[in-house]
Structure 1
Amino acid sequence: MNEVEEVINQFIEKLEENERIIKVRQKQLNNLIQNQEEKFLKVAEKIKPIIYHIKSQGYAFKNTHFNCQSYEGPIVGYQDSQVFIYVGGRYLQKRTLTDEEAGLVPLDHFLSENSFKYAMEGLLETVQIQDNMIREYQKDIDNGEAELSEFKHY
């Protein structure tokens, strides 16, 4: 075997080894996404009564990471002028902000392309909606009273 053939054979061996590594990594990532999806769904199930209460009261679900709100459910992601809203089950509602186009996205697909941390934080932010509303109302009341007192002598 000449030197060129030896280099080519070594390169082919490296390609085959890399291919085995890629397959292992793909499997690891798929398992991780599946674990993330199960954790998300477990937490969503626990806070389902809170989600229903917030919806029944007509309150908006807000997401502080993405500075947007929805009346349909917790906002768990934002990408390219699209918000992803958890509405139940293994699917997210995808809404385009520019034209209100909507569609469903499988949760595992969403998690494979977006931040699990932000999705969980968006879901868990639901638990604090009323406390946040109380703080916002109190802030508005305090500001309004301060402004009113500036003109108490008139």
Structure 2
Amino acid sequence: MTNKPLSRRKLLAKFSLFGLGSAGIFSTSGCTVAEIRRGITTSHQLYKGNVSQAISAQVPGVGIPEFDGLVRQQLAKFIDTIADNWSDKKIATPRAYVKYSNHFKSRAIIDFSSGLIQVETIASQNSKAVLKQAIVQTLLTPEDPTQLDLFSAKTPSIGAKPFLLE
């Protein structure tokens, strides 16, 4: 008995039936209406080119509208400031530490996955001294995360045990 190859129409019909059957299996783990609405809003913001609003919309709230709005507003302002200075908008993630300094003219990126440290500056005046200062700040960044403000260009406090020491 020889098997005939399926025509394109029959193959698509089989896949669509499989898709409908599997949709019933996976429907219990779907998104909520609020998550879908937030995703659509984010897509619309990205389409309009408003990256800072799109990212800040993804920040989960704590249930206090005034506080949630303030956090989202500060995050959007932070991303806009980065965009005004840098061509790429890098922010901290679970796998990478990103700290801006020198009025957002310098930044340090520590990639925990690869183990690489990158310190760079876009300062036009005294760039060598600014870069040296950024390197020293990066190497002496304290281990205690409460001593850091990732959403500003403030210099971390020096004196505590550096987290790059070990």
TM-score range, shorter chain: under 0.3
* Higher RCO structure (Cα 8 Å, ≥6 apart): 1
**TM-score, normalising length from structure 2?**
0.22
**TM-score, normalising length from structure 1?**
0.23
Which structure has more helix as a fraction of its residues?
Answer: 1
Which structure has more strand as a fraction of its residues?
Answer: 1
